[in-house]
């Protein structure tokens, strides 16, 4: 099977034929460089026969590079014109029938994915990158791993470890599902239009066993949000609202082997999870 990738001229011609002008609102910065989309697919180690989900396929640059490996793709696109056109582009470019399924929908709202994909690969719309990642990890337990391109600061935050300035609520929530790592940078010049931010690739691998049930996750995330809402305060203070008073918060923290004088940025996801379990009375 030979799939031919899209170049810069193809992308502009396709957009013009659809009367599409990239919009900021939908985070539409299309990749116009074949080496970059191949780099993303290589970083994700996509294998023939795997099923990949792509959020926001746009005009199809990255989609074709995933399909080129012999994997199949479920692609979720919110822009109807792009979603409608993608199967035709794939067929014209040598993609075998049945390898691509397009879901014309808002990725933030999908609750089912045809083919139960195990890998996520995407150049994410920047305005929703963290919520959409967390939504996918939470909603689709069959997703095992992924590599996504996001704004550099977001990638660094997702992969940040405790104790760093950029470690925040998204870092802890992402770590709930498994480890994250930075896996490459991307030049601004490969996008059309050229964005005014830098991008990085960030990858994750889901832990073999889920860390806890839905209740525990919600409780943990609530504590994480409270801790980082007042990140300069000591935890006994930052969590006093949740636990009723700072002395009640201190008692819970001590039972969870966490110093009441520590701050939100000092704690690992395990620490947060322990606090939630003590609160729950486990
Ligand atoms: N994958 C293409 C590429 O690399 O050239 C396009 C990437 S562009 C950064 C983001 C894409 O996500 C656009 O096609 C946009 O229409 C789509 N998008 C934006 N918000 C979305 C949402 N909530 N659900 C699904 N797709 C979305």
Residues 186 and 236 both lie in one domain? no
Residue 141 lies in a domain: yes
- Domain end, chosen from 170, 205, 240, is at 205
d(CA 206, CA 188): 29
Q: Measured in angstroms, how far is the CA atom of residue 154 from the centroid of ligand 1? A: 17
Residue 2 lies in a domain: no
pLDDT for the residue numbered 281 = 79
Residues 152 and 267 both lie in one domain? no
Q: Measured in angstroms, how far is the CA atom of residue 83 from the centroid of ligand 1? A: 10
Q: How far apart are the first and last CA of the chain?
A: 55
Residue 34 lies in a domain: yes
H-run or E-run covering 268: none
d(CA 23, CA 186): 21
Residue 262 lies in a domain: yes
Residues 175 and 254 both lie in one domain? no
Q: Measured in angstroms, how far is the CA atom of residue 126 from the centroid of ligand 1? A: 9
Top mutation candidate among 125, 132, 133 for ligand 1, by most atoms within 8 Å of CB? 125
Nearest atom in ligand 1 to 191's CA: 5
pLDDT for the residue numbered 282 = 65
Q: Which residue has the tokens 């239009």?
A: 193
Residues 183 and 218 both lie in one domain? no
Q: Measured in angstroms, how far is the CA atom of residue 59 from the centroid of ligand 1? A: 9
- Write down the pTM of the prediction: 0.97
- Domain end, chosen from 159, 179, 205, is at 205
Residue 1 lies in a domain: no
CATH of the domain at 17: 3.40.50.150
Residues 165 and 246 both lie in one domain? no
Residue 15 lies in a domain: yes
Q: Measured in angstroms, how far is the CA atom of residue 30 from the centroid of ligand 1? A: 8
Residues 168 and 262 both lie in one domain? no
Residue 33 lies in a domain: yes
**Low-confidence residues in the chain, pLDDT < 50:** none
Residue whose CA is closest, atom 8 of ligand 1?
Answer: 28
Residues 191 and 219 both lie in one domain? no
Residues 184 and 99 both lie in one domain? yes
Residues 166 and 271 both lie in one domain? no
CB 209, CB 28: distance < 8 Å = no
DSSP conformation class of 115:
T
Top mutation candidate among 11, 26, 39, 124 for ligand 1, by most atoms within 8 Å of CB? 26
d(CA 275, CA 282): 10
pLDDT for the residue numbered 44 = 98
Residues 65 and 166 both lie in one domain? yes
pLDDT for the residue numbered 56 = 98
Number of domains in the chain: 2
Residues 165 and 227 both lie in one domain? no
Structural domain range at position 238: 214-280
Residues 234 and 146 both lie in one domain? no
pLDDT digits (tens, 9 = 90+) for 247-258: 999 999 999 999
pLDDT for the residue numbered 258 = 98
Whose CA is closest to 134, among 181, 204, 60, 74?
204
């Amino acid at each position: 099977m030979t799939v031919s990738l899209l170049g810069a001229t193809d992308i502009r011609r396709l957009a013009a034929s659809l009367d599409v002008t990239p919009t900021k609102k939908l985070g539409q910065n299309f990749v116009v460089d074949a080496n970059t989309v191949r780099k993303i697919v290589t970083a994700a180690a996509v294998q023939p026969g795997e099923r990949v989900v792509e959020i926001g396929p746009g005009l199809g640059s990255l989609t074709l590079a995933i399909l080129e490996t012999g994997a199949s793709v479920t692609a979720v696109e919110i822009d109807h014109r792009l979603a409608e056109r993608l199967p035709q582009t794939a067929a014209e470019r040598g993609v075998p029938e049945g390898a691509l399924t397009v879901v014309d929908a808002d990725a933030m709202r999908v609750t089912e994915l045809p083919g139960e994909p195990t890998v996520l690969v995407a150049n994410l719309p920047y305005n929703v990158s963290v919520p959409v990642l967390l939504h996918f990890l939470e909603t689709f337990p069959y997703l095992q791993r992924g590599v996504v391109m996001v704004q550099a600061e977001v990638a660094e935050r997702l992969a940040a470890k405790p104790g760093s300035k950029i470690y925040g609520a998204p870092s802890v929530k992402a770590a709930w599902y498994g480890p994250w790592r930075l896996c490459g940078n991307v030049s601004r010049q490969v996008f059309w239009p050229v964005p005014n931010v830098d991008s990085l690739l960030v990858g994750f691998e889901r832990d073999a066993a889920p860390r806890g049930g839905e209740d525990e996750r919600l409780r943990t995330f609530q504590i994480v949000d409270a801790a980082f809402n007042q990140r300069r305060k000591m935890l006994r203070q930052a969590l006093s609202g949740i636990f009723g008073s700072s002395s009640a918060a201190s008692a819970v923290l001590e039972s969870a082997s966490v110093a009441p004088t520590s701050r939100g940025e000092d704690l690992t996801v395990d620490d947060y999870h322990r606090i939630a379990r003590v609160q729950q009375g486990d």
